[in-house]
Amino acid sequence: MPSIFPGMNPYLEHPELFPGLYHLLISEIARFLSPQLRPKYRVALQVRMYETTDENSLLVGIPDVIVKNRQTVNDSTNTNVAVAAPTPEPIKVKIPMPVSIREGYLEVREVGTEALVTTIEILSPTNKRTGRGRQTYQEKREQVLASRSNLVEIDLLRKGEPMPMMGNDIQSHYRILVCRGDRRPYADLYAFNLPHIIPPFPLPLRSGDTEPVIDLQTLLNEVYDIYGYDLVVDYSQQPVPALSEADAAWADALLQHKGLR
């Protein structure tokens, strides 16, 4: 069953669903590009690894419950009898737990020389919040931008801080950045919102080469259909992260029209 949303499906941004979607979509992009880039280029799947702490356990020493002292018996007739102090009970706290993060990304390399031509990144939730994940990704991003290679950066997450761009005050739910190595500091930004179809965009290669157009909407719909996301998404509930009031009303009308509410 295909996705009922015209563009990005906000229900797929759920923390339990997006990590799987993230890797499946990267694989689908690679499958789509590989036959079109042969024989001059090849698509390589790379993995970035780092350790961070579980976002649900960042606060240390905050009790889950308030501990109450047990009541002591006050015997007024035996004022000289020593009363033992109440035994302290343990307080439940949370501690940061190290978590190994693996983030996949694609590299388009020239066959023979293995020269890096284009990096394709899909932003993960850890890339868009303060911490090790964002720092690690920004370092990689700056490394690519300092070279002559191209960068494609896909942001399908409403929550979190967008990647920095100079003088950019554009507000949008989602973004696709196509940054060519020979045109920096300028780049093409495809900014779109929940009701919009995901815009197709060209994959930048070397000057003079035919550039395939990536129809990310079609690839996303294929992932949704093939892997049965309609079997796990509960459209009677509100998506996570929550929508704004206006977007929630739009989504509710769409879901009712489709008979899912």
Phi and psi, residue 256, nearest 5° = -65, -40
pLDDT tens-digit profile of 36-77?
999 999 999 999 888 877 554 333 333 333 333 444 444 445
Alpha-carbon separation of residue 221 from 7, 157, 176, 238 (angstroms): 9, 16, 17, 21
| pLDDT(101) > 50 | yes
Q: Do 45 and 108 contact (CB within 8 A), yes or no?
A: no
Residue 239: pLDDT band with limits 50, 70, 90: very high
Q: Do 166 and 185 contact (CB within 8 A), yes or no?
A: yes
Q: What is the mean pLDDT of residues 86-102?
A: 81
Average pLDDT for the chain: 88
Per-residue confidence (pLDDT) for residue 61, from 0 to 100: 34
The helix or strand, by DSSP H or E, that contains position 34, with its residue range, turns out to be helix 18-37
| pLDDT(231) > 70 | yes
pLDDT tens-digit profile of 138-169?
999 999 999 999 999 999 999 999 998 886 67
Listed in sequence order, the DSSP H helices in 89-226 are 132-145, 216-226
Per-residue confidence (pLDDT) for residue 98, from 0 to 100: 75
Alpha-carbon separation of residue 17 from 52, 70, 96, 113, 222 (angstroms): 20, 45, 23, 38, 16
Beta partners for residue 121, in sequence order: 153
pLDDT tens-digit profile of 103-147?
999 999 999 999 999 999 999 999 999 988 999 999 999 999 999
Q: How far is 49 from 61, CA to CA, in rounded Å?
A: 29
Q: Do 116 and 109 contact (CB within 8 A), yes or no?
A: yes
Phi and psi, residue 222, nearest 5° = -65, -40
| pLDDT(96) > 80 | no
| pLDDT(19) > 60 | yes
Q: pTM for the complete prediction? A: 0.83
Radius of gyration, alpha carbons of the chain: 25
Q: Which residue has the higher pLDDT, 235 or 81?
A: 235
| pLDDT(244) > 60 | yes
